[in-house]
Amino acid sequence: MAAGKERKYFLIGGKGGVGKTSLAASLAVKFANNGHPTLIVSTDPAHSLSDSLAVDVTGGKPVLVEGTDLPLAAIELDPEEAREEFRSFAEANDTAQGVQDFLGSVGLAGIYDSLVDLKLGELLDTPPPGLDEAVAISKVVQFTKEEKYKKYTRIVFDTAPTGHTLRLLALPDFLDKSIGKVVKLRQKILGATSAIKGLFGAQEADQDQAVQKLEELKERVIQVRDLFRDSSQTEFIIATIPTVMAANESKRLLEELRLEGVPCRRIVINQLLPPVDEENSVIPKEAMQQLSNMDAEYGTHLQAYARFCDSKRKDQLRALHLMKEDAQGLQTLKQVEAPLFDLEIRGVPALRFFGDQVW
Protein backbone atom coordinates (compact mmCIF):
# COMPACT_ATOMS: atom_id res chain seq x y z
CA MET A 1 0.00 0.00 0.00
CA ALA A 2 2.91 2.32 0.68
CA ALA A 3 4.84 1.25 -2.43
CA GLY A 4 5.48 3.85 -5.10
CA LYS A 5 5.51 7.64 -5.00
CA GLU A 6 2.58 8.27 -7.35
CA ARG A 7 -0.62 9.54 -5.81
CA LYS A 8 -3.09 6.92 -4.59
CA TYR A 9 -6.51 7.10 -2.99
CA PHE A 10 -7.85 4.79 -0.28
CA LEU A 11 -11.50 4.77 0.77
CA ILE A 12 -12.53 3.12 4.04
CA GLY A 13 -16.19 2.18 4.05
CA GLY A 14 -18.67 -0.11 5.72
CA LYS A 15 -21.46 -0.36 8.24
CA GLY A 16 -21.87 2.39 10.80
CA GLY A 17 -20.15 1.79 14.12
CA VAL A 18 -17.43 -0.60 12.94
CA GLY A 19 -14.53 1.79 13.53
CA LYS A 20 -14.07 3.24 10.03
CA THR A 21 -12.70 6.53 11.33
CA SER A 22 -10.09 4.91 13.61
CA LEU A 23 -9.01 2.60 10.79
CA ALA A 24 -8.82 5.45 8.26
CA ALA A 25 -6.93 7.72 10.68
CA SER A 26 -4.48 4.95 11.62
CA LEU A 27 -3.84 4.21 7.93
CA ALA A 28 -3.16 7.90 7.28
CA VAL A 29 -0.72 8.04 10.21
CA LYS A 30 0.94 4.86 8.91
CA PHE A 31 1.43 6.42 5.47
CA ALA A 32 2.79 9.66 6.95
CA ASN A 33 5.34 7.65 8.93
CA ASN A 34 6.36 5.58 5.90
CA GLY A 35 7.43 8.04 3.28
CA HIS A 36 4.18 9.69 2.16
CA PRO A 37 2.83 13.19 2.79
CA THR A 38 -0.78 12.27 3.49
CA LEU A 39 -4.18 13.89 3.49
CA ILE A 40 -7.12 12.31 5.29
CA VAL A 41 -10.64 13.47 4.48
CA SER A 42 -13.87 12.70 6.31
CA THR A 43 -17.19 12.95 4.48
CA ASP A 44 -19.05 11.19 7.29
CA PRO A 45 -21.83 13.38 8.75
CA ALA A 46 -20.95 11.96 12.20
CA HIS A 47 -17.83 14.21 12.24
CA SER A 48 -15.63 11.95 14.38
CA LEU A 49 -12.28 12.51 12.65
CA SER A 50 -11.45 15.45 14.92
CA ASP A 51 -12.14 13.26 17.94
CA SER A 52 -10.00 10.44 16.56
CA LEU A 53 -7.02 12.69 15.84
CA ALA A 54 -7.58 14.79 18.99
CA VAL A 55 -7.25 17.84 16.71
CA ASP A 56 -9.98 20.17 15.45
CA VAL A 57 -10.05 19.62 11.68
CA THR A 58 -13.47 21.15 11.00
CA GLY A 59 -13.96 24.22 8.85
CA GLY A 60 -13.56 22.77 5.37
CA LYS A 61 -9.82 23.48 5.07
CA PRO A 62 -6.89 21.06 5.55
CA VAL A 63 -5.31 21.28 9.01
CA LEU A 64 -1.78 20.02 9.72
CA VAL A 65 -1.64 17.29 12.36
CA GLU A 66 1.55 17.06 14.39
CA GLY A 67 3.36 13.92 15.47
CA THR A 68 4.21 12.17 12.18
CA ASP A 69 7.46 11.92 10.23
CA LEU A 70 6.09 13.51 7.06
CA PRO A 71 3.21 16.01 6.75
CA LEU A 72 -0.25 14.75 7.68
CA ALA A 73 -3.18 17.03 6.94
CA ALA A 74 -6.79 16.35 7.83
CA ILE A 75 -10.11 17.86 6.86
CA GLU A 76 -13.72 17.25 7.81
CA LEU A 77 -16.16 18.21 5.06
CA ASP A 78 -19.76 18.99 5.82
CA PRO A 79 -22.02 17.23 3.29
CA GLU A 80 -24.84 19.53 4.38
CA GLU A 81 -23.09 22.40 2.58
CA ALA A 82 -23.51 20.52 -0.70
CA ARG A 83 -27.22 20.07 -0.02
CA GLU A 84 -27.64 23.78 0.71
CA GLU A 85 -25.71 24.66 -2.44
CA PHE A 86 -28.07 22.50 -4.49
CA ARG A 87 -31.19 23.89 -2.79
CA SER A 88 -30.06 27.47 -3.47
CA PHE A 89 -29.54 26.60 -7.11
CA ALA A 90 -33.00 25.02 -7.27
CA GLU A 91 -34.69 28.08 -5.79
CA ALA A 92 -33.00 30.32 -8.38
CA ASN A 93 -33.84 28.00 -11.29
CA ASP A 94 -37.30 26.55 -10.77
CA THR A 95 -37.53 24.71 -14.10
CA ALA A 96 -40.57 22.60 -13.32
CA GLN A 97 -42.57 25.59 -12.06
CA GLY A 98 -41.64 27.52 -15.21
CA VAL A 99 -43.03 24.74 -17.37
CA GLN A 100 -46.29 24.60 -15.42
CA ASP A 101 -46.78 28.40 -15.36
CA PHE A 102 -46.19 28.82 -19.08
CA LEU A 103 -48.45 25.99 -20.18
CA GLY A 104 -51.18 27.33 -17.92
CA SER A 105 -50.85 30.82 -19.40
CA VAL A 106 -51.48 29.53 -22.93
CA GLY A 107 -54.35 27.22 -21.97
CA LEU A 108 -52.35 24.00 -22.10
CA ALA A 109 -52.15 23.21 -18.40
CA GLY A 110 -53.28 19.62 -19.03
CA ILE A 111 -50.09 18.88 -20.93
CA TYR A 112 -48.08 19.47 -17.76
CA ASP A 113 -49.44 16.24 -16.29
CA SER A 114 -47.76 14.30 -19.07
CA LEU A 115 -44.44 15.83 -18.05
CA VAL A 116 -44.71 14.87 -14.40
CA ASP A 117 -42.90 11.60 -15.02
CA LEU A 118 -39.79 13.61 -15.84
CA LYS A 119 -39.56 14.45 -12.12
CA LEU A 120 -37.87 17.76 -12.85
CA GLY A 121 -39.23 19.27 -9.68
CA GLU A 122 -37.84 16.45 -7.60
CA LEU A 123 -34.46 16.81 -9.27
CA LEU A 124 -34.22 20.47 -8.38
CA ASP A 125 -36.14 20.64 -5.10
CA THR A 126 -34.47 17.71 -3.35
CA PRO A 127 -30.78 16.82 -3.72
CA PRO A 128 -30.48 13.22 -4.98
CA PRO A 129 -29.20 10.71 -2.39
CA GLY A 130 -25.42 10.55 -2.48
CA LEU A 131 -25.03 14.01 -4.02
CA ASP A 132 -23.70 15.54 -0.81
CA GLU A 133 -20.82 13.10 -0.50
CA ALA A 134 -20.08 13.14 -4.23
CA VAL A 135 -19.75 16.93 -4.25
CA ALA A 136 -17.60 16.82 -1.11
CA ILE A 137 -15.25 14.24 -2.61
CA SER A 138 -15.09 16.08 -5.94
CA LYS A 139 -14.07 19.26 -4.12
CA VAL A 140 -11.19 17.38 -2.50
CA VAL A 141 -10.11 15.97 -5.86
CA GLN A 142 -10.19 19.48 -7.34
CA PHE A 143 -8.20 21.27 -4.66
CA THR A 144 -5.58 18.49 -4.47
CA LYS A 145 -4.69 19.49 -8.04
CA GLU A 146 -3.55 22.87 -6.73
CA GLU A 147 0.21 23.35 -6.47
CA LYS A 148 0.38 23.49 -2.67
CA TYR A 149 -1.44 20.16 -2.34
CA LYS A 150 0.41 18.24 -5.06
CA LYS A 151 2.89 16.95 -2.48
CA TYR A 152 0.30 14.63 -0.95
CA THR A 153 0.90 11.17 -2.39
CA ARG A 154 -1.64 9.35 -0.23
CA ILE A 155 -5.23 10.52 0.23
CA VAL A 156 -7.43 8.56 2.63
CA PHE A 157 -11.22 8.98 2.73
CA ASP A 158 -13.22 8.18 5.83
CA THR A 159 -16.58 7.67 4.12
CA ALA A 160 -20.15 7.73 5.36
CA PRO A 161 -21.90 4.43 6.23
CA THR A 162 -22.66 1.79 3.58
CA GLY A 163 -26.02 3.18 2.42
CA HIS A 164 -24.46 6.54 1.50
CA THR A 165 -21.69 4.80 -0.43
CA LEU A 166 -24.11 2.71 -2.47
CA ARG A 167 -26.26 5.74 -3.34
CA LEU A 168 -23.11 7.63 -4.29
CA LEU A 169 -22.13 4.90 -6.76
CA ALA A 170 -25.57 4.99 -8.39
CA LEU A 171 -25.72 8.79 -8.55
CA PRO A 172 -23.97 9.43 -11.93
CA ASP A 173 -26.49 7.30 -13.83
CA PHE A 174 -29.36 9.02 -12.06
CA LEU A 175 -28.03 12.48 -12.90
CA ASP A 176 -27.25 11.47 -16.48
CA LYS A 177 -30.86 10.38 -17.04
CA SER A 178 -32.44 13.29 -15.17
CA ILE A 179 -30.30 16.04 -16.68
CA GLY A 180 -30.63 14.41 -20.08
CA LYS A 181 -34.40 14.74 -19.75
CA VAL A 182 -34.09 18.42 -18.84
CA VAL A 183 -31.89 19.17 -21.85
CA LYS A 184 -33.94 17.08 -24.28
CA LEU A 185 -37.24 18.63 -23.20
CA ARG A 186 -35.78 22.11 -23.45
CA GLN A 187 -34.45 21.51 -26.97
CA LYS A 188 -37.78 20.13 -28.20
CA ILE A 189 -39.83 23.00 -26.86
CA LEU A 190 -37.45 25.75 -27.95
CA GLY A 191 -37.18 24.15 -31.37
CA ALA A 192 -40.94 24.24 -31.82
CA THR A 193 -41.40 27.97 -31.52
CA SER A 194 -39.51 31.01 -30.30
CA ALA A 195 -42.69 32.14 -28.58
CA ILE A 196 -41.98 29.87 -25.66
CA LYS A 197 -38.31 30.66 -25.10
CA GLY A 198 -39.20 31.78 -21.60
CA LEU A 199 -40.63 28.39 -20.74
CA PHE A 200 -37.84 27.53 -18.34
CA GLY A 201 -37.77 30.90 -16.60
CA ALA A 202 -37.59 34.59 -17.24
CA GLN A 203 -34.64 34.60 -19.58
CA GLU A 204 -33.33 31.92 -21.94
CA ALA A 205 -29.73 32.87 -21.15
CA ASP A 206 -30.35 32.30 -17.45
CA GLN A 207 -31.81 28.88 -18.11
CA ASP A 208 -28.96 27.97 -20.47
CA GLN A 209 -26.67 28.76 -17.57
CA ALA A 210 -28.85 26.64 -15.28
CA VAL A 211 -28.60 23.65 -17.58
CA GLN A 212 -24.86 24.22 -17.87
CA LYS A 213 -24.54 24.14 -14.07
CA LEU A 214 -26.39 20.85 -13.97
CA GLU A 215 -24.09 19.48 -16.64
CA GLU A 216 -21.06 20.64 -14.64
CA LEU A 217 -22.46 18.97 -11.56
CA LYS A 218 -22.91 15.76 -13.49
CA GLU A 219 -19.33 15.93 -14.76
CA ARG A 220 -17.99 16.41 -11.25
CA VAL A 221 -19.88 13.37 -10.02
CA ILE A 222 -18.70 11.31 -13.01
CA GLN A 223 -15.11 12.28 -12.19
CA VAL A 224 -15.60 10.86 -8.69
CA ARG A 225 -17.07 7.66 -10.10
CA ASP A 226 -14.22 7.27 -12.59
CA LEU A 227 -11.70 7.81 -9.81
CA PHE A 228 -13.42 5.10 -7.76
CA ARG A 229 -13.12 2.69 -10.68
CA ASP A 230 -9.45 3.37 -11.43
CA SER A 231 -7.64 0.37 -9.96
CA SER A 232 -4.24 1.97 -10.64
CA GLN A 233 -5.03 4.87 -8.28
CA THR A 234 -7.81 3.77 -5.98
CA GLU A 235 -8.62 1.01 -3.54
CA PHE A 236 -11.80 0.63 -1.51
CA ILE A 237 -11.22 -1.12 1.82
CA ILE A 238 -14.22 -2.63 3.58
CA ALA A 239 -14.30 -2.17 7.34
CA THR A 240 -16.41 -4.54 9.40
CA ILE A 241 -16.72 -6.22 12.79
CA PRO A 242 -17.21 -9.94 13.53
CA THR A 243 -21.00 -10.04 13.80
CA VAL A 244 -23.46 -11.78 11.51
CA MET A 245 -25.25 -8.52 10.69
CA ALA A 246 -22.01 -6.75 9.77
CA ALA A 247 -20.81 -9.75 7.74
CA ASN A 248 -24.03 -9.79 5.70
CA GLU A 249 -23.85 -6.04 5.05
CA SER A 250 -20.19 -6.32 4.03
CA LYS A 251 -21.14 -9.08 1.61
CA ARG A 252 -23.79 -6.87 -0.01
CA LEU A 253 -21.38 -3.93 -0.15
CA LEU A 254 -18.75 -6.02 -1.95
CA GLU A 255 -21.35 -7.20 -4.47
CA GLU A 256 -22.31 -3.57 -5.23
CA LEU A 257 -18.69 -2.47 -5.46
CA ARG A 258 -17.96 -5.18 -7.98
CA LEU A 259 -21.12 -4.37 -9.92
CA GLU A 260 -19.92 -0.76 -10.21
CA GLY A 261 -16.35 -1.78 -11.05
CA VAL A 262 -14.82 -0.35 -7.86
CA PRO A 263 -11.56 -2.13 -6.92
CA CYS A 264 -11.73 -3.79 -3.51
CA ARG A 265 -8.99 -6.15 -2.35
CA ARG A 266 -9.08 -5.97 1.45
CA ILE A 267 -11.49 -6.30 4.32
CA VAL A 268 -10.51 -5.26 7.83
CA ILE A 269 -12.25 -7.20 10.60
CA ASN A 270 -12.13 -4.87 13.58
CA GLN A 271 -12.66 -5.38 17.33
CA LEU A 272 -11.57 -9.03 17.44
CA LEU A 273 -11.16 -10.68 20.82
CA PRO A 274 -7.99 -12.74 21.54
CA PRO A 275 -7.55 -16.09 19.75
CA VAL A 276 -9.22 -19.31 20.89
CA ASP A 277 -7.26 -21.54 23.26
CA GLU A 278 -9.40 -24.65 23.64
CA GLU A 279 -12.57 -25.87 21.93
CA ASN A 280 -13.53 -22.38 20.77
CA SER A 281 -13.15 -21.07 24.29
CA VAL A 282 -11.01 -18.10 25.28
CA ILE A 283 -10.24 -19.58 28.70
CA PRO A 284 -9.68 -23.33 29.37
CA LYS A 285 -12.11 -25.15 31.69
CA GLU A 286 -9.46 -25.59 34.37
CA ALA A 287 -8.85 -21.87 34.46
CA MET A 288 -12.60 -21.22 34.67
CA GLN A 289 -12.75 -23.41 37.78
CA GLN A 290 -9.85 -21.51 39.30
CA LEU A 291 -11.67 -18.25 38.65
CA SER A 292 -14.76 -19.67 40.32
CA ASN A 293 -12.70 -20.54 43.40
CA MET A 294 -11.21 -17.04 43.49
CA ASP A 295 -14.69 -15.50 43.23
CA ALA A 296 -15.80 -17.56 46.21
CA GLU A 297 -12.74 -16.60 48.22
CA TYR A 298 -12.48 -12.90 47.39
CA GLY A 299 -16.03 -11.97 46.40
CA THR A 300 -15.04 -11.06 42.83
CA HIS A 301 -16.83 -11.73 39.52
CA LEU A 302 -13.94 -12.98 37.44
CA GLN A 303 -15.75 -16.07 36.18
CA ALA A 304 -18.69 -13.96 34.94
CA TYR A 305 -16.32 -11.71 33.00
CA ALA A 306 -14.57 -14.75 31.56
CA ARG A 307 -17.87 -16.32 30.50
CA PHE A 308 -18.89 -13.07 28.81
CA CYS A 309 -15.64 -13.01 26.80
CA ASP A 310 -16.05 -16.71 26.04
CA SER A 311 -19.57 -16.20 24.71
CA LYS A 312 -18.59 -13.09 22.77
CA ARG A 313 -15.67 -14.88 21.12
CA LYS A 314 -17.89 -17.78 20.04
CA ASP A 315 -20.32 -15.27 18.54
CA GLN A 316 -17.42 -13.70 16.63
CA LEU A 317 -16.34 -17.11 15.39
CA ARG A 318 -19.80 -17.66 13.88
CA ALA A 319 -19.46 -14.40 11.96
CA LEU A 320 -15.93 -15.28 10.81
CA HIS A 321 -17.18 -18.66 9.63
CA LEU A 322 -19.95 -16.92 7.67
CA MET A 323 -17.34 -14.76 5.93
CA LYS A 324 -15.26 -17.83 5.05
CA GLU A 325 -18.33 -19.51 3.55
CA ASP A 326 -18.68 -16.62 1.08
CA ALA A 327 -16.22 -18.30 -1.29
CA GLN A 328 -16.93 -16.03 -4.27
CA GLY A 329 -17.12 -12.86 -2.20
CA LEU A 330 -15.53 -11.91 1.11
CA GLN A 331 -13.28 -14.97 1.14
CA THR A 332 -11.56 -13.68 -2.01
CA LEU A 333 -10.40 -10.55 -0.19
CA LYS A 334 -7.29 -10.23 1.91
CA GLN A 335 -8.59 -10.41 5.48
CA VAL A 336 -6.86 -8.05 7.91
CA GLU A 337 -7.55 -8.59 11.61
CA ALA A 338 -7.68 -5.66 14.02
CA PRO A 339 -7.82 -6.49 17.75
CA LEU A 340 -10.22 -5.06 20.30
CA PHE A 341 -8.23 -2.76 22.58
CA ASP A 342 -8.94 -2.12 26.24
CA LEU A 343 -8.45 1.64 25.78
CA GLU A 344 -9.90 4.17 23.38
CA ILE A 345 -7.75 4.80 20.30
CA ARG A 346 -7.41 8.58 20.23
CA GLY A 347 -4.58 10.86 19.19
CA VAL A 348 -1.61 10.32 16.88
CA PRO A 349 0.49 8.16 19.27
CA ALA A 350 -2.43 5.77 19.87
CA LEU A 351 -3.29 5.70 16.16
CA ARG A 352 0.34 4.94 15.35
CA PHE A 353 0.28 1.97 17.74
CA PHE A 354 -3.07 0.81 16.36
CA GLY A 355 -1.88 1.14 12.77
CA ASP A 356 1.23 -0.92 13.49
CA GLN A 357 -1.04 -3.74 14.68
CA VAL A 358 -3.34 -3.59 11.67
CA TRP A 359 -1.67 -2.31 8.49
Catalytic residue IDs: 44
Torsion of CA 26, 3, 141, 359, to 10 degrees: -20
Distance CA 345, CA 109 (A): 62
- Please report, as a single letter, which amino acid is at residue 337: E
Distance CA 161, CA 14 (A): 6
Distance CA 7, CA 155 (A): 8
**For 192-201, which contacts have Cβ atoms below 8 Å and span 24 or more sequence positions?**
196/102, 196/106, 198/98, 198/102, 199/98, 199/99, 199/102, 200/95, 200/98, 200/99, 201/93, 201/94, 201/95, 201/98
| Residues ≥6 apart with Cβ < 8 Å to 117 | none
- Cα-based distances in Å from 201 to 73, 102, 214: 44, 9, 15
CB 77 within 8 A of CB 68: no
Beta bridge partners of 156: 10, 40
CB 270 within 8 A of CB 239: yes
